[in-house]
A and B are shown apart, each in its own frame.
Chain A
Amino acid sequence: MIPPAFEYARPTSVDEAVRALADAGEEGKVLAGGQSLLPLLRLRLAFPELVVDVGRIPELRGVREDGDTLVIGALTTHHDVIRDPLVRRHAGLLAAATATVADPAVRHRGTLGGSLAHADPAGDLPAVVLALDGELVAAGPHGRRTIPARDFFVDYLQSALAPDELLVEVRVPKRDGWSFHYEKFHRTAQAWAIVGVAALVRRADGHIAEAHIGLTNMGATPLRATAAEEALSGADGPQAVARAAEAAAEGTRPSQDLSASPEYREHLARVLTKRAVLTATGMG
């Protein structure tokens, strides 16, 4: 209910934030929108010595284009991502999936960068950024580095960010002309996904030319259903999609928890992959 005490820093620039994190070493925690961190603090599941509030760093907010890449500031809120015309045009999958995150009040505060840095495999956005072949840009004491999404999610609640690094932006290739759908399966509107499937599909000549399938909550990290992706390539109708989707759970290691068993999650991954692709492509 009541967060433990911590020191508080409110930098106004990325450099200042990085310095503050570097000083705190392992004991620092970044506060962006706070929608993941504050519940953890309130339940006393985290005890940072220093909280670095990056909420007042304007350069972290907003969406811009960089050639064929869309650059989304880490501090851009879910609410803004959903409504951003550039995101809707070039990364519609991200807008659609973000609209399913939590509830409106949480989406007003929660940020894209925060959701990714939290690295919760049950969160909707990690699998989406993975499906988009996104890249994450981290600022640290020695400058910036770009981390491909496939290398960013290291383990359960663990990202590739060093303690003195701040996630500053998310870069996703524009996917104009790709069709997409995020199929989220959860027990109540507010609940975390039991399984979510982010499908991003390029079609050519009436068949699927290329498919990216991101899986939410099918392991300790978000995953790509690579076997299904391969099988989907060339699929030309509902039957072919359904057959390809049978491979969706290959290589996954879903967990057992209150809402589902691993076996059920694997089953859902297959069904939801089929549905996501059919919905995305309008083949269904």
Chain B
Amino acid sequence: MTHIKVNVDGTAYEDDVEPRLLLAHYLRDRLGLTGTPIGCDTSNCGACTVDLDGTTVKSCSVLAVQADGGEVTTVQGLAKDGEWTALQHSFHERHGLQCGYCTPGMIMAARDLLRENPHPTSDEVRQALEGNLCRCTGYQNIVRAVLAASGQQVAEEAPA
């Protein structure tokens, strides 16, 4: 067992963990932070994307011990006092989710993009989300949602 201290969504935790424990399982099974789901075992799908010390990581491909001393932000830590972030709003308003399983990872990845590139083009959004798979939306409304959250004009979606 290895002793770790991790701050997750503003709360400090200390735990003894097996070194092999994946950060994703630490969040889900130990801390009960089930907002971060797991969708694959090869780090392809990105559903488990969280923020670790200011950049996105796939929490299924990081050991909890690697996050020792770190700060983790999950999708559950985004809204402050019940107030959604711009990205959360735009995913809702642009119908950027259907089943919602990829959504936490998509939102975290999009948040990372907008931090580095506040006004991305549509192609840049698509490239930035290359590590996050969605099976429902065909991605178009996700791209629209990210562009809208960046304050850009987005073509209207549904024909009347």
Listed in ascending order, the chain A residues whose CB lies under 8 Å from chain B are: 1-8, 10, 31, 34-35, 38-39, 41-43, 51, 53, 55, 79, 102-106, 108-109, 189-190
Contact = CB atoms under 8 A, between A and B. Distances in A.
Contact of A38 (B2, B43, B127): B43
B57 interface: yes
Interface of B: 2, 18-20, 22, 41-44, 46, 49, 55-58, 60-63, 65-66, 109, 112-113, 127-128, 130-132
Nearest to A51: B19
Which secondary structure characterizes the binding site on chain B?
A: mixed
Contacts of A43: 41-42
Contacts of B56: 104-105, 108
Contacts of A109: 57-58, 61-62
Contacts, number: 84
B65 A105 contact: no
Contacts of B43: 35, 38-39, 106
Contact of B55 (A8, A79, A102, A190): A79
A35 B43 CA distance: 8
A9 to B, nearest CB: 9
Contacts of A10: 65
A34 B19 contact: no
Contacts of B130: 103-104, 189-190
Nearest to B53: A108
Nearest to A43: B41
A149 to B, nearest CB: 27
A105 B20 contact: no
Contact of A108 (B22, B57, B63, B65): B57
